[in-house]
Chains A and B, each alone.
Chain A
C-alpha cells in the first residue's frame, strides 16, 4: 500500500468515526494540542483513558454485582468515566454515562446493569476503533509519511 493511499484511508477512517458519532470535536482539539514538542500526546492521553476506563469498568461491574448496591460508590465512577470520555471526545461513551448517572440517581439497579452493558459496548467500540486508528497512523509514520491533519478533511 503506498503512502498516499494509506493517508487517504486514514482520513476516511477518521471521518467515519466522526460521522458515526463515536468521536466529537473534542478529539479534534486533542489532535490540535499535539505538536512537535509533544508528538505522542493524543496516543498518550488515549492510552491513559483506556487504562483508567478498564479499571473503572471493572470496579463498576464489581459494585453492581454486590447484593446491596452502594450507589454512592457507583456514581463517582460513572462521573469519572463521563469526564474522561468527554475529554477525549468519546461521545457515545459519554452519552451512555449520562444515562447511566440518571439511573444511579434513581437507584434503579436493573437499569444500571443495562447501562453498564451499554457503556461497555460503546467503550469497546471506541477502543477498537481508536486502536485501529493508531495502528494506521503508526503504519504511515513507519513508512516515513506524515499523519495528515484530519480537521480539514470535512
Chain B
C-alpha cells in the first residue's frame, strides 16, 4: 500500500518510455543501416563492404538490444521489490507528520534568516545616516568654533592692541550681527574682560556701570519679559572679575554680568584661560531664553603665547574671554532640516562627560525602537564628551518578504503532505474497494454456482414429474380412445417431450456453465450413431420432401472412442436446426478425416449447383471452416503429430432459408435467435447452438458456419476422438467389420442410375456398407448396356426417383424389347412415401422395391431382405419392454438391499421381488458387512448412501477391503476356492440407491468402489441399464 507503489508505477512508466525510446532508436538505426547497406551494394556491389555493414549492423543491434534488455530487467525487478514491501498505515502517518514538522522548521528558519537580513540592513542604514548627521554637526560646529576663535583674535587685536580701543559695544554688536552667517550654530557671542579687584573701581568708573553677579540669577531663573538687569545685585568683592563688556544684540542682556559669578561660566572661563583652547560648558538653561544651550569660551591673551606655554603663564597673559552661545536645540534642528529623510530618524544629542548621567542636549526622550546607533561627536573640547544617538522614528515594517517566503514554503510542504496523505488514503481506499470487489466477486461467483445448482435442481425436479406425465400419457394411448382423444393425447405427449428436451437443454447449459459436464470415453460406432440420428429426422424430412443423406468417408474408422451421446447431441442440434429451416432441397451430413480434407482441398473446385445433392445451390462450405484455428496456414501439420487421435470434420449442409447476415455474429450466443418471429414460427429456445459450441469445445474441436440467405447454411465442426479399432483388427478385416447381420449381401452387385455424383456417392456409400459392390451410371440406357456386357451378374438396379419419373417409359420399353436373362431387382430410391410406380411396369412383374430416403444401413438391409427374399429371419433377440428383460435378468438372483428406512427397504424389496429376484434386507451398513463376507452368496447389493452409524460409502469401502484381502489370498493359493471355483477374484456389484443424482454423488459412488447408482424410487429403465451392465457378463461366465 503506498507511495512505493506510486513510485513503482512511475518507474514502470519511465521504463516503458525508455523501452519505447530504445525500440525507436534501434529501429531507426537498423533501418538507416539497412538503407545505407542497400545503397552500398547497389552502387559498389562490393561483397566486402556489405559484410562490413551487416557486421556493424549486428553490433549496433546487439548494443541496443542489450540496453533494452537491461532496461527490461531493472525496473521490473525494482518494481517487484517495491511492490513486495508492505508498510502499515501508522508508519505512513508518522512519516507525514515528520515531513510536516521538518518543513515547519525550515519555514521558521527561513523567516528568521530573512528578517535578520532585513534587520542588518536597517542597522546599516541607521549607522550611515547617524554617522552622516554626526559628522555634519561636528563640521558645522567646528566651523562656528573657528569663527569664534577668529573673533577672539579680532578682539585681542582691535580692543586690546589699540589704545584707545577700536571697538566699543555698538561696533561689536554690529559686527557680530553682520558676520553671524559665518557662525550658523551660535546664537550669540559676548566678550568679558578680565578685571582684577584692584582695577574694579577704575573699570566701573570707565564703563559707567558696576559689575553685577549672576549666581543669584541662576538660582532664581526668571522669565524673559521680567528680566531686568538693573535689579541684579552688584557683585561681591572677589579677587578678580570677568564682566561682559561687549555682546551681540541677541545676548545684550549679559553686559555687565560677572562671568566668574556663574557656576558654569566660571568653570568654563577658568578652563579656557588655562588651556588656551575653546572650552565648552555642560548644557544648561540659558539666561533669559531658558533654552538649553552650551557656551563656548575662548581666552583672549595679551600676547601670542607659545603652544607649550604653562597654564600659569596663560592665566597671567589672559586679557579677557570670548563666549559663544550655542543654542543646541534650534541649531541641531536647523541642521537636520537641511538633510534628507529627516522624518525617518530620531536624533538625540547627549553630553556624556559624566557617564552615569548623560545630559540631553537635543531630542525628546520617546523611545521608539530598540535599535539605536551611537555616534561620538568631537567638538574640539577634550574635556567634554558628546554623542549622538539615532533611532528610527517608525517601528520596523512587517517583514513581508520573509513572511511570504516562509509561508509559501510551508504551504507547499503542507500541500505535498496533503498529496501524500491523500494518495496513501486513496490507495488504502482502493485496496479496501478492491478487497470489497473481490468479496463481491466471490459472492457473484457463488451466486452463479447457486444459479446453476438451482437450474440443475429445478430442471431435475421438473423432469421427474414430467416423466410421470409422459408415462401416464403413454399408458393412456394404449386404452381405447376415439380419434379426437388420441389426437389430444398425442399433442400432449409431444408437448411434454418438447418440454423435457428443453429442460434437458437448460440442464446441459447449466452443467456446462458450472463446468460439471464431463465427456465419457467409450467405444462407439459412428456410422450407427449417424443412422440413428437420421432415423430420428426421417419422418420430418419425408413429410417435407427434403432429401436427407449421410456420407462417411472410408477412412473414418468403424469404432471410435469418445462420447457418443454428446456427439449425437451436437448432430441432432445442427440437423434439427437445418430441418427446421429447410422446406425444399436437401440436408447432407458428411464426415471426413481432417487430413483427407487437406489432401483434397486443392483439387476441389467451386461447387456448381449441379454437383450438390439435390441440385440446389448451397452455401460455400469452405468458408465455414476458414476461421478454424487448427486450419491456419501451419495448422494441418499439428494434426499429424498425434496419430492415435482421429480428427473428424463433420459438415451439415442444408438448402434452407439461411441466416441473415446481421444475425450471423450472435448465432452461438445462448438464448439468441435470429429474431423474435423465428421463435414464434419455428419454436426452440436458441440454446442448442451454444450448447453445441461448448460440446465441440469439450471435444477439442471447433465449430463454424457459412450461410447465404435464401440459399442455405453449412455448419462444420471438428472433433477429436481416439481410434477404437485395434490396429491388428483393422488389418485382418479391412473391408468389413463385425456386422454379421449384413453378411448375406456380400458379393452382390448393384447398378446405381444417378446423374448427380454427390447423390450417387451417398447411395454407393450405403450399399457398399452392406457389402454390395456398386457401379454408378448416369443414365438408364447405360445401366442396361452395362448389364448386358457385364461379366458378372447384377443383382439390383437402383434408380433415383427423379430419373425414374423421367425415363421410366424408356426403361420399360427397352426391357420389353430385350428382356434380360436374369432380371435384376429394380429398386427405386424415393424421397417421400408417395412415389408412383407406373402400372405398365407392374403388369406381370414384381413391383419394384421402393426405398424411402434417408438411406441407413439397418433400414436398407431390412428392405432388401424383404425384397430379395433372402435371410428372412427374425432378429435373434426380442427387444421387449425393459420390464420383461429386467425380469429375465433378475430372475432368481439373490440380492441384498441395505437401507435404514423400513419403508424404503420394503418398497425396494417389493420392486425387485416383482422382477423375480430373491431379496434379503438389511437395516444398517454393519449388518450388510456381516452378510457380505466373501465368498459372497449374493449376486448384487443395493445400498442406501445416507445411513446412520455407517453410511453406504463406508460400508462399500469395507466390503471392497475384505474382497481385496480374500483375492490376495486366492492369488497366493492360501484360501480354499469354494463353489464358484472358476472365479479368479471376488467383486460383488454394489449399487448405490440415492434420491440425489447430482454428478458429485455419482463420482463419489464410483470412488468408493460402487459400481453404479440407481435413483430412489426405482425406475425400470434405469434399473435395467445399471443391472444389465454387470449381469450380462456374469451370466455368461456362470451359465
Contact = CB atoms under 8 A, between A and B. Distances in A.
B906 A80 contact: no
Most chain A CB within a 10 A radius of its CB, from B902, B908, B948:
B902
A87 B903 contact: yes
Contacts of A154: 472
For B904, B913, B1016, which residue has the most chain A Cβ atoms within 10 angstroms? B904
Interface of A: 24-26, 29-30, 32-35, 37-38, 41, 44-45, 48-49, 51-52, 76, 79-80, 82-88, 151-152, 154
Interface of B: 465, 468, 471-472, 475, 479, 899-904, 906-908, 910-911, 913-914, 946, 948, 995, 1016-1018
A86 B995 contact: yes
A79 B946 contact: yes
Contact of A80 (B465, B901, B914): B901
Given A33-B914, A80-B901, A25 B907 contact: no
B910 A33 contact: yes
A34 to B, nearest CB: 8
Given A80-B900, A87-B903, 14 more contacts: A26-B1017, A29-B911, A30-B910, A45-B903, A48-B903, A82-B995, A83-B904, A83-B995, A84-B901, A87-B904, A87-B1016, A151-B472, A152-B479, A154-B472
Contacts of B471: 25
B475 A152 contact: yes
19 contacts: A30-B907, A33-B910, A33-B914, A38-B913, A41-B910, A44-B906, A45-B906, A45-B910, A48-B906, A51-B902, A52-B902, A79-B946, A84-B901, A84-B904, A86-B995, A86-B1016, A151-B472, A152-B475, A152-B479
A84 B1017 CA distance: 10
Given A25-B472, A33-B907, A84 B948 contact: no
Contacts of B902: 48, 51-52, 84
A24 B468 contact: yes
B903 A83 contact: yes
Contacts of A35: 914
A76 B948 contact: yes
B910 A83 contact: no
A79 B944 CA distance: 12
Contact of A87 (B479, B907, B913): B907
Contacts of B472: 25, 151, 154
A148 B1016 CA distance: 27
Contact of A25 (B468, B899, B904, B914): B468
A132 B558 CA distance: 61
A45 B475 contact: no
Q: Which of A33, A38, A76, A87 gathers most chain B CB within 10 Å?
A: A87
Contacts of B899: 83
Residue in B475, B913, B946, B1017 with the greatest tally of chain A CB atoms within 10 Å = B1017
Nearest to A79: B946
B994 to A, nearest CB: 10
Nearest to B899: A83
A86 B904 CA distance: 9
A29 to B, nearest CB: 6
A32 B908 CA distance: 13
Contacts of A151: 472, 475
Contacts of A38: 910, 913
A34 B914 CA distance: 8
Nearest to A98: B461
A79 B951 CA distance: 13
A28 B899 CA distance: 22
Which of A38, A76, A84 counts the most chain B CB atoms within 10 A?
A84
Nearest to B911: A33
A41 B906 CA distance: 9
A34 B909 CA distance: 12
Contact of B901 (A34, A41, A83): A83
Contacts of A41: 910
A24 B901 contact: no
A52 B903 contact: yes
Nearest to A50: B903
Nearest to B904: A87
B486 to A, nearest CB: 16
A48 B908 CA distance: 14
Nearest to A94: B995
Nearest to B1017: A26
A49 B910 contact: no
Pairs of residues from A and B, 4 with the lowest C-beta to C-beta distance, nearest first: A84-B903, A25-B468, A33-B910, A87-B907
Contacts of A51: 902
Of B468, B475, B907, B948, chain A has the most CB atoms within 10 Å of the CB of B907
A74 B465 CA distance: 29
Nearest to A89: B1017
Nearest to A152: B479
B569 to A, nearest CB: 28
